[in-house]
């Protein structure tokens, strides 16, 4: 079973292929162990072929340290024990085993990494068995081995947490993008369709008595539909540019001045809603993201006034305000319609306005207006 606890193959430097990363430590350790074993052969008197074979097993286990860390460490520890008890302790074998216990903590899954620590005391005791030493030395070595394992285990845990944070950030980005696209589609399609329905209904009511008025309403329906298609094409174009690595956000390049707001409100005026727009001179020069959001907020508020409140007149006020924390843009939309029903709950449109305001660090208040109708107030901080 392949371990998944440590860093993946793709996290290694691109200049070293994964196979080289796996084999290089084993090859280096094997060359060093063979050289030391050959140099000690005349003095140790141990069986040289068995020593060389065990060196190959111990070094070879390091090549599998990333793919099968627990198995690799078990094989390396078994080789260390056999070498110490039947051939004689090797000078480099403890270092190879130390590298193995670090890899165990780094690459094994958490459960297997903890299980592998049970192999540390037997291996250390086997290595010191041929020697007549006090118990202090094996205990100290076991402590060092577990400390090195803990370093590897802690590094793996940090890697896992970093990957989880990146995955969470990607999921949040996807969800945020879906909300943004849904909000834009609602603004483009929902508003236009609502205006077209109101215009078509008005045309149906005067079809027999006012043919010229009916003709104007039908032309307005056509114009609203064309504008909606143009806006939808712009939105899809921006999304394709983002998929291809282009720059920009939905809303960039739209309604570059306050005159552009009139184009957004024209279908509502054609449907019978008279709008008084008051924009203070110091509120005309706004950042593009704030200006685009204000236009959409006003459009949504007036569409709700026409559709739900059956309002015929509405007033929009946009101005700056100095407060203790800095400059704030205030947007207020008041209609003279039916007003909210008792115990009303915000629908998709009001929630969308709240999301737009929250994205800019602002807040929204809404409810019945004094004297009847509905009032919406949005405060957006200006940095």
4 inside domain: no
Sequence-ordered alpha helix ranges (H) in 244-371:
259-270, 288-307, 348-359
149 inside domain: no
CATH number, residue 332 = 3.30.565.10
Question: Do 276 and 200 sit in the same domain of this protein?
Answer: yes
179 inside domain: yes
349 inside domain: yes
154 inside domain: no
Token pair 């460490």: residue: 73
211 inside domain: yes
Please list the residues that pair with 377 across neighbouring strands: 332, 365
Question: Do 308 and 202 sit in the same domain of this protein?
Answer: yes
Helix (H, G, I), strand (E, B) or coil at 364: strand
Q: How far apart are the first and last CA of the chain?
A: 55
Question: Do 313 and 174 sit in the same domain of this protein?
Answer: yes
For residue 97, give its domain range.
9-132
38 inside domain: yes
Residue where a domain stops, chosen among 132, 151, 185: 132
Question: Do 179 and 115 sit in the same domain of this protein?
Answer: no
pLDDT in tens, the chain (383 residues): 445 555 544 444 446 677 878 888 888 888 888 888 787 765 555 577 887 888 889 888 898 888 899 999 999 999 888 888 888 777 888 898 999 999 999 999 999 999 999 999 998 888 888 776 677 888 888 999 999 999 999 999 998 888 888 888 878 776 776 777 777 776 667 767 777 777 787 778 888 888 888 888 788 777 777 777 777 766 666 555 555 444 333 333 333 456 567 777 777 777 778 888 888 888 878 887 788 788 888 888 888 888 788 888 999 999 988 765 558 899 999 999 888 888 888 887 788 888 888 888 889 999 988 888 899 999 998 86
């Amino acid at each position: 079973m392949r371990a998944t606890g440590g860093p993946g193959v793709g996290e290694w430097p691109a200049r070293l292929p994964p196979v080289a990363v796996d084999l290089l430590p084993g090859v280096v350790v094997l060359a060093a162990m063979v050289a030391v074993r050959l140099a000690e052969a005349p003095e140790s008197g141990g069986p040289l072929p068995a020593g060389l074979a065990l060196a190959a097993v111990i070094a070879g286990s390091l090549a599998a340290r990333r793919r099968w860390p627990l198995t690799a460490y078990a094989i390396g520890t078994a080789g260390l024990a056999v070498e110490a008890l039947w051939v004689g302790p090797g000078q480099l074998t403890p270092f190879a085993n130390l590298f193995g216990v670090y890899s165990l903590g780094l690459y094994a899954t958490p459960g297997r990494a903890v299980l592998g620590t049970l192999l540390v005391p037997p291996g250390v005791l086997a290595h010191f068995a041929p020697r007549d030493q006090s118990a202090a030395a094996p205990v100290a070595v076991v402590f060092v081995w577990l400390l090195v394992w803990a370093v590897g285990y802690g590094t793996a845990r940090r890697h896992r947490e970093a990957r989880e944070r990146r995955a969470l950030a990607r999921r949040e980005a996807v969800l945020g993008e879906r909300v943004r696209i849904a909000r834009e589609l609602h603004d483009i399609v929902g508003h236009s369709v609502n205006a077209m329905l109101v215009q078509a209904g008005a045309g149906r009511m005067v079809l027999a008595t006012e043919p010229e008025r009916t003709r104007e309403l039908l032309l307005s329906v056509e114009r609203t539909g064309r504008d909606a298609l143009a806006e939808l094409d712009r939105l899809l174009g921006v999304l394709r540019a983002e998929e291809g690595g282009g720059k920009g956000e939905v809303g960039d390049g739209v309604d570059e001045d306050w005159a552009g707001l009139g184009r957004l409100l024209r279908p509502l005026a054609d449907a019978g809603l008279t709008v008084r727009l008051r924009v203070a001179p110091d509120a005309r020069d706004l950042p593009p993201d704030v200006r685009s959001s204000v236009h959409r907020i006003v459009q949504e508020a007036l569409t709700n006034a026409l559709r739900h409140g059956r309002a015929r007149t509405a007033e929009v006020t946009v101005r700056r305000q100095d407060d203790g924390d800095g400059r704030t843009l205030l947007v207020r939309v008041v209609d003279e319609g039916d007003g909210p029903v008792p115990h009303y709950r915000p629908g998709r449109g009001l929630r969308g306005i709240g999301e737009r305001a929250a994205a800019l660090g602002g807040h929204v208040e809404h409810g019945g207006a004094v004297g009847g109708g509905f009032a919406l107030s949005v405060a957006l901080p200006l940095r």
